[in-house]
Amino acid sequence: MSLAIALLTVSDTRTAADDVSGDALQTRLEAAGHRLLERRIVPDDRYRIRAELSRWIADPAVQAVISCGGTGLTGRDGTPEAVAPLLDKTIDGFGELFRVLSFESIGTSTLQSRCLAGVANGTLIFVLPGSRDAVETAWDRLIQAQLDASTRPCNLVQLLPRLREGPR
C-alpha cells in the first residue's frame, strides 16, 4: 500500500540545495513506493513548526508526516515541544527503539536524542533528529517496516483506517 507522506525539515541553516537529511528521506520513501505529497523547510521556531504540522494533520490526504531536525538540547531546538501538544496518542516504543539502534553507531550520545512519534487526527507523525545518519537509521530500521502492510505480526498501515475512531 502506497502512503501519502509529507516531509518537514526543521533548520535555521538548511536550504533545498543542501537538505541532505530531507533528500535521504525522500529517496527512501519513494523507493519504498510511497508518495511525497509535500516537502517544506521551516526555521527552529515552535510556532512555525506547529503551523506547518497542523496544516498537514488537518489535511485528510496526508497519512504520515516525517520531520527531521530540532530535537537536540540547545536553546533553539524545540521540535518535540512544538509537536507533543498536537498528538492525540504517542508511540513511546519508537523513541525507545530509535535510541537503542542509535547507540550502536553513536554510543551514549544517543541520550541527547529527543525523537518521538505519535498519531494526530489519524495521521502518523515521526519526529527525527536532523543528521543524515539519524534519518537513515530511523527509516531503514524502524519506519520503513511499519509503513509496509506486509510487515508481520503487525504494522502501522493496518491501523490507519481505525486511527480516527473516537473512544467508546
H/E stretch holding 93:
helix 92-106
pTM value is 0.96
The CA distance from 81 to 70, in Å, is 10
For residue 77, the one-letter residue type is D
- Cell (9 digits) for 138: 530511523
**For 6-34, what is each residue's pLDDT tens digit?**
999 999 999 999 999 999 999 999 999 99
Residues 6+ positions from 83 with CB-CB distance below 8 Å: 49, 50, 53, 67, 116, 118, 125, 127
pLDDT single digits (tens) 95-117 = 999 999 999 999 999 999 999 99
Cα–Cα distance between 168 and 158 in angstroms, integer?
Answer: 20
Q: Which strands sit side by side in the sheet containing 116-120, from one edge to the other?
A: 35-42, 4-10, 64-68, 123-128, 116-120, 89-90
Residues 115-142: tens digit of each pLDDT: 999 999 999 999 999 999 999 999 999 9
Burial track 101-120 (b if 16+ CB lie within 10 A, e otherwise): bbeeebeeebeebbbbbbbb
In the chain, what are the domains?
4-162 (3.40.980.10)
